[in-house]
Amino acid sequence: MDFTFTEKEEKFRGELRGWLEVNLPKGWLQGDRKLPEDNEHYSKSLRDWQRTLYEGGWAAISWPKEYGGRDATLMEEIIYHQEMVRVKSPPLVNYIGIHMVAPTLMQMGTDAQKDEFIGKILTGEQVWSQGYSEPGAGSDLTALQTTAVKKDGKWVINGQKVWTSFAHLADRCFLLTKTSQSEKKHEGITVFLLDMDQEGVETRPIVQMDGHQEFNEVYLTDAIATDEDIVGEEGKGWAVLIALMLHERSGIAAQVFTLEQQFDSVIEMAKTIRVNGTPLIEDPFVEDGLADLHARINGAKLNYYRNITHTLKNGKPGAESSLDKLLVSELTKEVFDFAMTIQGHAGVLTHDDALFDGEMQRQYLASFGATIGGGTSEVQRNTIGERILGLPKDLGR
């Protein structure tokens, strides 16, 4: 693959840079990047940002043009991610809708579902969560306990979900249920596009160890869905789930550009801190550690380039996206673990007491969740072993 950007691609970069300079929130490029802390204003702020992206034609550039995308090329998509990371753009409140639900509906949804949901996902009018994990089931999505039972022409859903990202802000949930029991664990699963705005759905935020509230518990008590809310066939939801997870892991892998930026911030920290008058970065231990991380992050980026090429050639991501997800999440944890180590005793301080307002400490605590969300590292290793390397299935499952 040729990594040299053509004149046309540099023009694309220039167009995006020019648009960002005009349309990012006031003061953002100058470093004023504080977002509202209460849910109502936080949600409105990020929905407004997605609406701005949509109106500028930058909300989902990899989508086909018929759905409002740009049919972006591989290189344009890479440039897009690079530029968004460069300006530290506001987070995408509808990440699940843009990168996971909508691509899955394009692939497997009915015409009515495409008409009803894809446009609202693109504009930010409708924010989505995903109802996968359940208490006691860990990462085994086949161990579902949430049930959907047909009654008087409607589906009555009962159960509990946990670690549900964005549920406290979401309008809809991509929900996994059991609609029948079978000796085969992957059968009898049905996926619903659940309306979150109903009496039978209760969301309770989970406070994470870094103080943020991005995950939730969701309690379902006689929640209602219809046949029109089912994605794919009743009882055949495992195939739908696999399609969505491949899109999810492909999207997470693009965070390799964020990882590069985070690594650069650790280098800047090592240049700033002095020990006995000498910059920390001149310590041989620090030099060796940074060199090792630099080489491995570049390896992860080249692997991402290879896999996104495969995706564009085949029209959908393959199992290789698990390799990207594993590398990015594990390396992120290692980068901030290293940042804590080289700070010495100061690494245990937090918030205003810590160096650089405790941002390294916050990122370190958050990095553990990255190795769990979107499928744990153990799940990714199983996928790589079984579906890429052709090894026998895990005997523990």
Residues assigned a catalytic role: 248
Full DSSP string of 229-271:
GEESSTTBHHHHHHHHHHHHHHHHHTTHHHHHHHHHHHHHHHH
Question: Please, what is the Cα angle at 73 between 4 and 48, to 5 degrees?
Answer: 115
Q: What is the DSSP letter of 26?
A: T
Which CA distances in Å does 342 have to 112, 275, 379?
55, 11, 31
The Cα–Cα gap between 107 and 100 comes to: 11
221/128 Cα distance (integer angstroms): 20
- Element holding 206 (H helix, E strand): strand 201-206
Q: Give the integer Cα–Cα distance in Å for 97 and 44.
A: 16
| Residues in a beta bridge with 158 | 147
Q: What span, in angstroms and rounded, lies between the C-alpha atoms of 382 and 69?
A: 34
Euclidean distance between CA atoms 33 and 357, whole angstroms: 15
Q: Of all residues in the chain, what percent are helix, strand and coil, respectively (each to 5)? A: 50, 15, 35
The Cα 199–Cα 84 span in angstroms is 38
Q: What's phi and psi for 238, nearest 5 deg? A: -60, -40
The alpha carbon of 344 is separated from its chain's Cα centroid by a whole number of angstroms, namely: 32
**CB neighbourhood size of 40 (10 A):** 9
128-131 vs 172-178, strand pairing mode: parallel
Instruction: Give the total residue count for the chain.
Output: 397
Task: Report residue 391 as tokens.
Answer: 């090894």
Which residues partner with 172 through β-bridges? Answer: 128, 195
- What are the Cα distances from residue 344, in Å, to 287, 290, 339? 16, 16, 9
